[in-house]
Structure 1
Amino acid sequence: MSNNPTGVNGYGPKNYPDDETLKVALCQYAKEKLSTVQCLARLEAEHDFQIKPALLYKLNKKFNVLSVRKPPPADIAMQAVLAKVAEDPSQGRRVGTIGVLLSNDGTPLPQDFIRNILATYGPEGLSHRFPGANRIRRSTLSSIGPNHQHHADGHEKLNAQALNMGGVGLNIYGIKDQWSSFILHLVVIPNNWLAATIGYVHLDCVEKHKLIPVTFVTDKGSETGIIYANQTGLRVTYTPELDTTQFPPMLQIRSVHNTPIEALWHWFLQTFGVNIKDVIRSGFTTGVY
């Protein structure tokens, strides 16, 4: 006859979760890539199940719980990685992201394995995501002479959002000759995001200097639409002999590539801009206006 017919030992009664509950819990922990200590803590907190690491290992083996140390066969793992690559046409997902997605699907894989698969079957994506790969490549500016290219852009460092004075701001627009670095036009306007206003500024500069450039260069903002029409019409009318393919009337490029005018804003900000902003703000804070 048993000396302990009730089955209760010195640690009190045990209410262990059933196998199905344990399997679901352990598979979920594997998806979350929890450490052994974290798994034990979760089992105790969620299921009142206190065990040692050795028993956790046995349970994972019993329920065939996958982990990065116990991945599926190589061919299955490779197909799982390639499936995630196929779902990402832009190739923007990093190794860690793919690893998390695979873990959520119940297929945790080592990052080295994922990286090797990507290097073999998706090297373009790895190159695209390599640190510094998207860094802007600088190149030498070239110009055939004065008024070959005029660069234009707006300056927002003193606008209403920057000054934060209830809608009061200085919206500045500038036009600069690339060859000479001469500032052709620098004006304060009500709104440097309005196409009609910017179109007028362009024509004002043309009237002021009695000339048009071979090519007018701006960024790709919507406010440059009327400039495009003005510049193209003037170029075609007054210099029809110029090949518009070799010398386009207008170029629209990214702001980071519109360096002649962007350099002007950097110089302006460092030389005058910060001081102007502080003076204007001081008048507002002291109640002068």
Structure 2
Amino acid sequence: MPNPTGKNGHGVKQYPPDDILKAHLVKNASKRVKEKLLEIKKEFGLEISGETLRKIERRLEVRTVRRNGLTEEEAVAAVISQVEKDINQNNGPRFVKDVLALQNILLPRNFIRNVMLEACPEGFDKRVPSSRKQKIKRIALTSIGPYAEFCADGHEKLAPQALKMGGNVGLPIYGYKDKFSGYVFLLKTIPDCRSAGAIGHLFLNMVEELKHAPLQLTTDAGAETVWESAIQGSIREVFTPEVDVNSYPPHRTIPSVHNTPIEGFWPWWKLKMGLNARERILSGEEAGLYNGDLQIHRNLFNWIFPRLLQESLDLFRDYWNSHRIRTQDKKLLPSGHIPSHVLVVPEEYGYIDCSVPVDQDAIDEIRQHLTEEVGPAEDFFKWNDADFEEICTQVHHDLELPPITWENSWDIFTPMARELRNLLE
């Protein structure tokens, strides 16, 4: 029967503006069609078919693996650039594929593998899985949904006691990971990850950014968790009085080796990026470019390397949250998923969102109390005083040095150290 109105019985769909829709599609370009459709429905209340999605992607010129907009030479160069950054050759084609996707460079895994085989075949031999047996008995993890439990811990493989470069220079890291989804909410390098004041402010910073807190926080029993625990307890007391603290305690302490969601994450960071960062850092001392007895060298180290490490942490966090976790048949929690996807649509997997909304007034009140007790946040997170930071920025500009990367970091350190000594001594 003719349909003179042109309406198909499904109603008129309300699409968001093209720029907003395109930004969403680019962000999720590496996900599967079903996952994209679910997130479009959750974000915009819009139900469309896979074919409609493909038409929209073509119209908005959203890149895909098949339509990546690259010549073969450009694609090869993109892969080689990632291979050259991995001086330990720990990263395989899947990691390279996921990291390139974060830069909106979408390439088939087989293409990447072939380029890597041609460029560095020895890396594949090095990455053959080891046969080491797990020493600690593990049990299946359980959770009722995202935000039900955040697991937090410090990582000190780049801390002063690990680097041993002199002058107490180092780059400790602290992180928060959602037990249910595997999503990493925060990775931050800070001057001291054993400071209770620093961790208290760090936790509050995260809550302020998310506008939510977890139902439960799990850490080891270290002294650095004192304020973190107190803040979490206060939030639960005010915003979830109906939740039984015996069933869902605000804060739980367990030995680090059993805090597996975050403890099991650190080896991946170390393997994929941490070892490369450590080798880059230590190469300066080994080459005689760094002297820990010199205050200018220590301060300049703190001007260059924390920002480089934070860039790597941000990149690895983005990679982790957008990569697909392998399927595990015996796992009780979701598997074969992308953390950022299951975090957004837990109901599709039969779970619930357990986030605790926290208003800004409460955050401000907690911040004021914490500052009165331990000092302001900036005191715990600054690597140098403001004057030295400003001088370094000016020297870097005056010497017409290029942007700082891991690859040229010590090449920039040397002339800057020389110029700073001329100015300050």
TM (norm. structure 1) is: 0.52
Partner of 1:284: 285
After superposition, what is the alpha-carbon deviation per residue over 1:151-193, rounded to whole angstroms, capped at 9, x for unaligned?
0000000001111111110010000001111110100111000
Instruction: Tell me the distance in 2 between the aligned counterparts of 1:262 and 1:137.
Output: 14
Is the aligned partner of 1:163 residue 2:163? yes
Deviations 1:216-271 (A, max 9, x none): 00011111011110000001111111010111000000001100000110110111
- Distance in 2, matches of 1:137 and 1:162, equals 27
The equivalences for 1:31-180 within 5 A come to 136-166=136-166, 167-180=168-181
Whole-Å separation in 1 of the counterparts to 2:138 and 2:282:
36
Amino acid at match of 1:158: L
Secondary structure at the residue paired with 2:265?
A: helix
- 1:245 is aligned to 2:250: no
Q: CA deviation at 1:283?
A: 2.2
Q: Does 1:220 align with 2:228?
A: no
Q: What is the TM-score normalised by the length of structure 2?
A: 0.36
CA distance in 1, matches of 2:153, 2:261: 10
- What is the rounded CA distance, in whole Å, between the counterparts of 2:189 and 2:136 in structure 1? 30
**Deviations 1:43-97 (CA, angstroms, capped at 9, x unpaired):** xxxxxxxxxxxxxxxxxxxxxxxxxxxxxxxxxxxxxxxxxxxxxxxxxxxxxxx
SS in 2 for 1:142: coil
Cα distance in 1 for residues equivalent to 2:188 and 2:136: 30
Q: State the Cα distance separating 1:136 from its structure 2 match.
A: 3.8
Matched, 1:261 2:274: no
| Amino-acid identity (%) | 45
Deviations 1:87-108 (A, max 9, x none): xxxxxxxxxxxxxxxxxxxxxx
Partner of 2:74: none
SS of the residue 2:175 aligns to:
strand
**CA shift at 1:284, angstroms?**
2.6
| Structure-2 separation of matches of 1:137 and 1:235 | 32
Query: Partners in 2 of 1:137 and 1:179 — Cα distance?
Result: 20
1:203-214 map, 5 Å: 203-214=204-215
Query: Matched residue of 1:244: which SS?
Result: coil
Cα distance in 2, alignment partners of residues 208 and 282 from structure 1: 36
Structure 2 counterpart of 1:97: none
Distance 1:211 1:175 in 2: 14
Indicate the RMSD between aligned Cα atoms, in angstroms: 1.1
Q: Secondary structure at the match of 2:275?
A: helix
The 2-side partners of 1:220 and 1:266 are apart by 21
CA offset digits 1:13-46 (Å, max 9, x no partner): xxxxxxxxxxxxxxxxxxxxxxxxxxxxxxxxxx
Whole-angstrom CA distance in 2 between matches of 1:283 and 1:204: 33
CA offset at residue 137 of structure 1? Answer: 3.1
The structure whose Rg is larger is: 1
Higher relative contact order, chain-length normalized (CA < 8 Å, sep 6+): 2
Aligned with 1:186: secondary structure? strand
Query: C-alpha separation between the residues in 1 aligned to 2:137 and 2:241?
Result: 35
Q: Could you say what secondary structure the match of 1:256 adopts?
A: helix
Query: 2:276 aligns to what?
Result: 275
**Distance (Å, rounded) in 2 between the aligned partners of 1:208 and 1:185:** 10
2:236 matched residue in structure 1:
235
Q: Which residue of 2 aligns with 1:84?
A: none
- Amino acid in the other structure paired with 2:286: T
Q: Which residue of 2 aligns with 1:201?
A: 202
Give the aligned partner of residue 126 of structure 2.
none
- Structure 1 runs not aligned, ≥5 long: 1-134
